[in-house]
Amino acid sequence: MVFLSLSARILLNVEALNMVESVGNFVRHRRAPIAVPTGTGFMLKYVPVISGESIAHSYQELLADAGIKSGIKVCSNCSAGIFIKHSDDPVLEDWAKKAIKEGEEAFERAIIQNCFVEDVGGFMYAGGKPVKRTSRFQVGYMVPALDAITSTAVEAQFHVRYAKTTEAQSIYNVEVGSAVYTLGFNIDVDGIGVLSSSKTELAVTKEERLKRVELAIKSLNTMLSNALFGAKRSRFTPIWKVLNAVAVVSHPIPITAEPPHTKDYIVNTSRKVGSSKELLNKGKVNLNETAWVGYYSSPEEVLPKVEGVEELKDLTQLINQSINNVLKLIS
Ligand SMILES: [Zn+2]
């Protein structure tokens, strides 16, 4: 399994990227409880967070955009940024209605061929006998880094608009969050363009599969290098910086990048990759594990060089080098 795993620390100031409800004229930021180590135990804290669903939505919008602009098929709902996917009979197009009659495998094959977003992001059909394609990417909540938890805040910002019809002031408050957020993102590269039932049989040509893999990783770069994720960006685009990031490309057993809660995460990732390779490549069953690790660190939070880990100048170069390593393994 060729697997790409990326962890990053992202500074986001005055962001309203994930709001949950409006109570009157008050719009609340999403919060979640997290257990924070104190040295003697753990303490529960409620902090601003950005949900994995929110990140996944933005990533899939970018996948759709990249697919359409590269001549790779994307279904009409996904093209419009509506990710209900092929979940039930009323939303099936004629080709999908025909395919579902031919069985689960034919249905999955047709959807992979006709929709790049659902190839990478998966779907769940529950109209009759369920057909499921697990998402090839995994993402979770962005939460404040544990080592910067005391530098985290959510605060309501007062705004007002003049309403000419009533000659009144319309007052509203929007909560904004500021924190060093952590992000983890994995892509099961082997699963892109491949049927779930066999795990090896291609649903598209080999050439198209390579294009899809490249586009899936390029879309990750578009999202992170440009902070194109989350909501409310039209008036609350945050002040942002990807402080540092680490990427791991592993094969055939997946190895993930460590969560970036402390500045040691690149060293810890490198150590884990080293010990995982040692374990997998010894004994009576040598798995011939290979893994490349690269990182990038900005002047705002410089991390020390790590031996055996390739240092790249910026996030885009890090992702570009990840693509090179992925393509070397699969082509
Ligand atoms: Zn679709």
Which of 41, 23, 9, 3 is CA-nearest to residue 179? 9
Q: Nearest 5°: phi and psi at 249?
A: -115, 115
* Number of domains the chain contains: 2
Predicted confidence at residue 128, as pLDDT, reads: 86
Cα angle value 246/17/220 (rounded, 5°): 35
Predicted confidence at residue 197, as pLDDT, reads: 82
Q: What is the pLDDT of residues 281-295, one digit of tens each?
A: 999 999 999 999 999
The whole-number mean pLDDT for each consecutive block of 10 residues of the chain, a chain of 331 residues, reads 97 97 94 96 97 98 98 98 96 95 96 98 94 97 97 96 82 96 98 90 96 98 97 96 98 98 97 98 97 97 92 97 97 78
**Distance from first CA to last CA of the chain, Å, rounded?**
13
Tell me which residues have their CB within 5 A of the ion that is ligand 1. Answer: 75, 78, 115, 117-118
Q: What is the pLDDT of residues 36-86, one digit of tens each?
A: 999 999 999 999 999 999 999 999 999 999 999 999 999 999 999 999 999
Instruction: Name the residue type at position 233.
Output: R
Same domain, 34 and 147: yes
Domain boundary among 148, 180, 212: 180
Same domain, 71 and 173: no
| CA 251–ligand 1 middle distance (angstroms) | 29
| CA 106–ligand 1 middle distance (angstroms) | 16
Same domain, 66 and 118: yes
Same domain, 174 and 279: no
| CA 212–ligand 1 middle distance (angstroms) | 14
Predicted confidence at residue 169, as pLDDT, reads: 87
Which of 161, 175, 218 is CA-nearest to residue 26? 175
Same domain, 88 and 226: yes
Predicted confidence at residue 198, as pLDDT, reads: 80
| CA 311–ligand 1 middle distance (angstroms) | 37
Domain assignment of residue 144, given as a range: 15-51+140-180
Predicted confidence at residue 247, as pLDDT, reads: 98
